Structure 1
Amino acid sequence: MRLLPLLALTALPGLAHAELLDDTPRIALISAFPPEWIALQDGLIDATDHKLNGVTFITGRMEGKPVVLFLSGVSMVNAAMTTQLALDHFDITAIAFSGIAGGVDPNLSIGDVVVPAQWGKYLEGVMARDTNDAFAIPPWMSTDYEGLGMITTVPFGVTTARSEDLDRRFWFDTDPDLLATAKAVAADMTLADCNADNACLSDPPQIILGGNGVSGSFFVDNADLREWAYTTFDAQVLDMESAAVAHVAYANEVPFITFRSLSDLAGGGDGANEMNTFMSLAASNAASVMRAFVGAME
């Protein structure tokens, strides 16, 4: 196969700048899957659908602000793809993610809404070699994190226009101004503690601001992994999308924030996983906080 000269690549149609479907500056409001999506759309007016690559993007206004809503899809890859798709075809001024998650910090309870200050991809790394005495990663690699058996977290880096060198960061920061707005909103909010079937939480839910969230490509219902995520990364919450979206937001230099309500304890509860019981309540609480946040944005 003959390779094209480097200069000829600029003429390829696939490398042209993406066409905007809508040129109004908007806040991107994202959820991962339908139950969260339904809660997120409450209060949306002047809705218009746009279809692209099978994804529905809904433009409109929420709390007086121009927004675009879409589902990321479950998983890190889906979340990264759809977020970049939105950034390529809409004028996105900020990204806010609303949805459910697993609770990691034993001091938190189901129904709490967590707004982390940073997110990391904790299940990206190396399945280490069993050397009989211990698990060992290849000698040319390094890590700052204690592994869980063969699972060893290794940041592989981020390519951005911010630097000529590969950025080997692990944590992606929530935008400090957006976090400050969320803090102001949280001071005046009371969250629901019962779902539509009148299943109620034992503790009134609270809003937790700051701390760490981690994301990976597995649904977690395992007490050992939950404890590892807490002790190794000081994580309050884990999910399957937020760190991927944070990575894309960082690469595109767009402000980012998440509102994650705990639907379950990621394997830390006494009985079966709690997600089916409290998913609707958690999704509604996260969306309520995010709507109030959007209303408070300048």
Structure 2
Amino acid sequence: MVFSRWGKVAAATTATTLIHEFQITELIFTGVAGAISSDVKIGDIVLGRRLIQHDMDARPLMKQYEIPLLSRIYFESDSAHLAIASKAINTLIESKSLHSVIGDEELVEFSISQPNLFIGDIASGDQFISSNEQKHSLKTQLPNILCVEMEGASVAQVCYEYEVPFSIIRTISDVADDKSHIDFQSFIKKISSKYSTEIIKNIFKQL
């Protein structure tokens, strides 16, 4: 278990080190993200089916978002690992196990009642999205993305290049608007760190 640090380069460096120095055969990445889809709320969990780097733009040499030399826009999690993670998360949600490790006071503080699991596209970039203008721009350019964060797609690229299966799991900490920075650190301490611990435990139970 390691802390990847913030941003695409730091996360990619950490993933590469894990592969080279520790010979990992699978990578599970957890953390927080800002909701882009209006269906996704604070406290929900997003499991990445496809990862895209929203700040990659080498036009006119190639298409927007395309990774140079790889000719890919999206990096996809394989179906087997997606199914394992999905089952583990749904089991936690259905049994309300997350509520047993998070106090009622904290749930009320962040207006969390019953979290939902979403599986779909996650966008990554070296930006903390914290304005309505930024959010609207992302929704316009990439209408299918569920949430945005700063590491997942770079980790997915490293794993793709080294043929290491990966799972990117994000807890929604904010809705990527003008108020997204207010309770960010508090959410990580009180909510998402506990989500991550319980999700990882339950993934191992599925193996």
**1:282 match:** 192
Distance in structure 1 (CA, Å) of the matches to 2:147 and 2:197? 17
**Which structure features the higher share of strand residues?**
1
**1:169 match:** 72
| Letter in structure 2 aligned against 1:192 | H
Indicate yes or no: 2:140 matched with 1:220.
no
Q: Structure 1, unaligned stretches of length 5 or more? A: 1-68, 127-136, 144-152, 158-165
Within 5 Å, which residues of 2 pair with 1:160-239? Answer: 166-189=69-92, 190=96, 191-192=98-99, 198-199=105-106, 200=108, 201-233=110-142, 234-239=144-149
Q: Structure 2, unaligned stretches of length 5 or more? A: none
State the superposition RMSD in angstroms: 2.3
Q: Could you say if the C-alpha distance between residues 85 and 71 of structure 1 is closer, same or farther in structure 2, counting changes exceeding 3 Å?
A: same
Alignment coverage as a number of residue pairs: 199
Question: Do the aligned residues in 1 keep the contact of 2:48 with 2:77 (CA within 8 Å)?
Answer: yes
Alignment equivalent of 1:241, drawn from 139, 146, 151: 151
Indicate yes or no: 2:166 matched with 1:256.
yes
* Segment drifting more, 187-196 vs 86-95: 187-196
Task: Describe the SS at the equivalent of 1:71.
Answer: coil
Indicate yes or no: 2:22 matched with 1:90.
yes
Distance in structure 2 (CA, Å) of the matches to 1:258 and 1:154? 19
Larger radius of gyration: 1
Q: Report the CA distance between 1:296 and its aligned residue.
A: 1.1
**Which structure features the higher share of helix residues?**
2
Q: Alpha-carbon deviations, 1:132-185, whole Å to 9, x = none?
A: xxxxx5xx4343xxxxxxxxx44232xxxxxxxx32101000121011112222
Q: Alpha-carbon deviations, 1:40-73, whole Å to 9, x = none?
A: xxxxxxxxxxxxxxxxxxxxxxxxxxxxx11111
Q: TM-score when scaled to structure 2?
A: 0.85
| Letter in structure 1 aligned against 2:105 | N
Within 5 Å, which residues of 2 pair with 1:1-298? Answer: 69-125=1-57, 140-143=60-63, 153-157=64-68, 166-189=69-92, 190=96, 191-192=98-99, 198-199=105-106, 200=108, 201-233=110-142, 234-267=144-177, 273-280=182-189, 281-297=191-207
Higher relative contact order (CA 8 A, sep 6+): 2
Task: Describe the SS at the equivalent of 1:212.
Answer: strand
Task: Describe the SS at the equivalent of 1:217.
Answer: coil
Question: Do the aligned residues in 2 keep the contact of 1:223 with 1:266 (CA within 8 Å)?
Answer: yes
Q: Could you say if the C-alpha distance between residues 229 and 276 of structure 1 is closer, same or farther in structure 2, counting changes exceeding 3 Å?
A: same
Q: Report the CA distance between 1:114 and its aligned residue.
A: 0.9
Over 4 Å off, 4+ runs? 193-197
Q: Could you say if the C-alpha distance between residues 194 and 156 of structure 1 is closer, same or farther in structure 2, counting changes exceeding 3 Å?
A: same
Distance in structure 1 (CA, Å) of the matches to 2:17 and 2:123? 23
| Letter in structure 2 aligned against 1:155 | E
Q: TM-score when scaled to structure 1?
A: 0.61
Q: Could you say if the C-alpha distance between residues 256 and 124 of structure 1 is closer, same or farther in structure 2, counting changes exceeding 3 Å?
A: same
